[in-house]
Structure 1
Amino acid sequence: MSVEIALRAARVRYGPLEALHGLDLALPAGTVTVLLGRNGAGRSSALRALAGTVPLAAGRVEWRGTDVTRLPAHERARRGLCFVPDLRAVYATLTVAENLDLAAPGRRDEALAAYPELAPLLTHRAGTLSGGERRMLALTRALLSDARVVLVDEPSLGLSAPVAERTYGLLAALARPGGAGGAAVVLAEQRLPPGLPPGSVAYELRRGSLASAGEVLSTDAP
């Protein structure tokens, strides 16, 4: 598997607190990678470092072998990186329709095919939606972005079990070669989600360091 994007000895600090302690992650193309850990383990900081929304105190970010550490977040987005954070992931003052059209102009029907629950809410302002509805709206950016790197922090946040299951299937499809180009799909989760495709990889983080790593054999629900 070819490495699409990577953290190399990455350190992230928030004031006097260090959230990542020299973290190394190699994230392959065409693969779903799950960053596991409790709150405070460093999962969100790792995604933000990859996306460029927090600076590195040390180390580097490499994209296909090129150092992009100093490349700002908007330039990474232009090059094909899509980041869906866990909070503040939609434009609250815009309507659902306006959010969809900003994310993927001319592809509103595809977004509604993924999440038909949004169809009756098109004229509603995003800030008035429930947590689950806002999450679906935010996730359409990832699903329609045609990005090479897709980073999603807690995809199922606020979603019902059936919608969460559908969401994992949609995100997994982005990593399949021939689907959306075999993206590197990276999910931050507290536990392994069900139904991950064969070849998925999991990294467990603890207190900003890598605790374990391995290929996911099966996450089928019992």
Structure 2
Amino acid sequence: MSDHVKDRTSSLSRIQENVLAANERKLLTWLCARMPRWVTPDKLTILGLIGGFMTFAGYTASNYGKLWLLLAILGYFVNWFGDSMDGSLARYRSIERPSYGYFIDHSCDGLTTLFILTGMGLSPFVTMDFAMVALAGYLLLSIHTFLSARVLGEFKLSYMAAGPTELRIMLIVLTMMMMILGATPGIFGKISGFDIFVGTVGGILLLLFAIQTFVTGRRLAKMGR
């Protein structure tokens, strides 16, 4: 890979304004200082991917009993640990490989999101149609983030004061509600309250994509780029 591409990736301005960012950074730094030397960023990336598959398996297996949702919840924690720690550990040990890490980490993020939402759609709580709307919203907003990184040099890690960690917490709470309330349809017949929630989140992501695309386009136009 050319030095030009390496420089572009390593010089990205990370914009992270989510509510838990500061406290999470302190926790990750504390964990990095105590991480055994045999633990590497690549192993943590794989662990995060395993966590995503655990969540997929938990949602899918919930067709046989709600207690399987505990596996989905555990998967969220495993995914957070692996996904949050891989880059943090690389930076802490000064062993970053910016282009490699950027490519592998976000490729795994996309696959993890596919695992989670497909599993949710295969569960008895959320129909696949609504799960795919949420997946489309996530992927489109990701595309916007990656395009903005290319044209503006800004990598935005949060929207509306929420980032990946806040989203995981929201999904954990949603999964706990699935365990408590069960899969019975709500007042809308075949469309459950879980469908409405997941569909609404997907709609918000799609709206954010449209708004951010418009705002970024105008910004680039003013800059003459």
TM-score normalised to structure 1 length: 0.25
Q: Which has the higher strand share?
A: 1
Q: Which has the higher helix share?
A: 2
Q: Looking at CA atoms only, which structure, 1 or 2, has the larger radius of gyration? A: 2
TM-score normalised to structure 2 length: 0.24
